[in-house]
Every structure is written in C-alpha cells, then in structure tokens.
Structure 1
C-alpha cells in the first residue's frame, strides 16, 4: 500500500510540473499573441508599423474627417514632444503631412521610440501611414530639436459614422541594448 501511495504521489507531482510548464509557456506567448490580435483587428487602437502607400486610393471629396493629434512623453526620456498642429481636416484618400517636434532637454544623447494608438479603435485599420517617425527609433543630441514628419491618409472605406479620430503618440525611452 505504501508503494501505491508513492507511485500516486509521483504521478501527481509530474502532472503539476507539466501544468506549471504549460502555464509559463502560455504566459510568454500571451504578449506576442496579444500584439498580433491587436494589429490585425485594430483592438485597443493599435496600428500597424508597416509603411503603406496610397496607390490608386480615390479621394472622397464628399466627406471630411477630423484627425486630432495627442502626444505624451514617458518618464525618463527627457524630451519635449508635441504636434505642430493639434488637428487637421482631411478627405478620405487624401495624403496629408503633419509635423511633430521633439526636443532633448537633457545634457546627454537620448533615444526614444514612439508607439501610436488610434481612437476609436474601429478607425485604426483605416489610418494608413506612409511615412512615420514611429517606424524607427529616434535619437537626439543634447538640446537638439528635430522635426518629425507623419505622412498618412484615411482609407475611403472608413465607416460612415466615424467623422473624427484621435491619433496619439507616446514616446518611450529606448536603450542601445534592446534588440
């Protein structure tokens, strides 16, 4: 009977180890899986970081959409960052350029990476960025001021009930050792 109890305990311990290993693997896979789901569906306002081209996009002059711009700098970056225009009115399909300005307020070289977000979430799949400072890491020398362009268009298949959207950029510190 003691041998049976010992075998049962070993089986239980092995099952518990497999459950822990499975939970750890699931936890590590959750973040990339969430990013993929958000990029594909536009969930949580996450936009794609892939350059888009207007191609043969037709401009819908019968409709106007207001695009507002919001910016934030996360603690530890030491930058001032803001849009040169707080909003623009665009026709779907019309390529528009908006400038942002970043200034390093520290006495050392500082690098940052911008993360975009679009509200409402259902509009994020329709905001197509052709050129964006968010595609690459930005580095500023001490006191340097840099103009950062954003070239984009809103696809003509934007739902008709969306007349206004907000594009928000948050700049986070980027380190040299991050790969």
Structure 2
C-alpha cells in the first residue's frame, strides 16, 4: 500500500514539474519579442536605430551619405516615398528629412512604419530625435501627409573600426 502512495506522490511531483516547465516556456515565448526588441534598440543589432533627444556634441567636418528607401506592404493602399532620396549631413549634425504618404483608398487606414538601417553596423550610430515611426499613422481617404524624420549620426561611428569605413547609410521604412 505504501508503494502505491509513494508512486502517486512521485507522479504528482513529475506532473507539477512538467506543468511548471510548460508555464515557464509559454512565459518566455511571450517575453521573447519585447526582449529581442530591447536588445536590438540597445545594441543597434539588425540595423535598429537609436532614439535621442539631441546631438551630444557639435557637428564634425566629415560628411556621410544617407539614402532613404520607402516600401508599402501589399494591400495597404498607400503611396509612400521619401521627398529626397539622399542627403550628406556632417557627422553629428541634426538633419530634417521628410517622407510623404497618401491614402489611395476610400476608407481610413492606420499603418505603422517598421524601419532598419544598413549596413547593420551603422544602426547603433544612427540616432532619431523625431520620427513618424514612433507612433501609428492614420490617413483619411485621399489624404496626403508629410512625415518628418529628424536624425543625426553619432560621431562615435568614427571610433568603431568596422563602422568608420562606411560612406553611405540607408534608412529604410516599410508601412
């Protein structure tokens, strides 16, 4: 009789451990996306840009090319493009550029822009002060809007052995 009780007790321990592992795995699955996003924002991994309030120092004389790219997910019904396709700001210089978006449908549409920077090693030095990509954008039927981006390239890029050789950075958005 004691062997049966001990067997049931051992089964309960195994079942509780298995249930605990399953709950932990589900919790980690939910935490994976925000943790990965945080990791990318802190390190610039995958071309993720940084957020800043303002440049920390005066602009340098050296310039770097910045190219702008715009894409729209199939079926969104928007036209989206940069006003200028390239600029060459001084490193550390606060720069304002714009994109335009037009809702070509007969209904309001809300979109969110995802973004990245290439080459990826430049992501940690590309700092956005203001960007339409920080919030959702709702466009009414036929509405066209100007979407500004204010950014600067951190002068620390020149101290990075790999990144200091970069002559052009591409900022790409997809709605």
Q: Indicate the TM-score class for this superposition, using the shorter chain for normalisation.
A: 0.7 to 0.9
| Structure 1 stretch displaced more, 129-138 or 22-31 | 129-138
Q: How many residues align?
A: 168
Q: Which runs of 5+ in 2 are unaligned?
A: 159-163
Identify the structure with the greater helix proportion: 2
Contact in 1 for aligned 2:64/2:88 (Cα 8 Å): yes
* CA RMSD of superposed structures (Å): 1.6
Q: Determine the C-alpha separation between the residues in 2 that align with 1:155 and 1:46.
A: 14
| Structure 1 stretch displaced more, 107-116 or 3-12 | 3-12
1:131 alignment partner in structure 2: 130
Deviation at 1:75, TM superposition (A): 3.1
- Is residue 41 of structure 1 aligned with residue 40 of structure 2? no
Pairs within 5 Å for 1:1-179: 1-48=3-50, 50-54=51-55, 57-61=57-61, 63-159=62-158, 160-171=164-175
| Structure 1 stretch displaced more, 123-132 or 18-27 | 123-132
Deviation at 1:51, TM superposition (A): 4.7
Contact in 1 for aligned 2:45/2:124 (Cα 8 Å): no
Deviation at 1:47, TM superposition (A): 2.1
Q: Deviations over 1:22-66 (max 9, x none)?
A: 111111111111111111001111223x452135x22221x2211
Q: Determine the C-alpha separation between the residues in 2 that align with 1:54 and 1:10.
A: 59
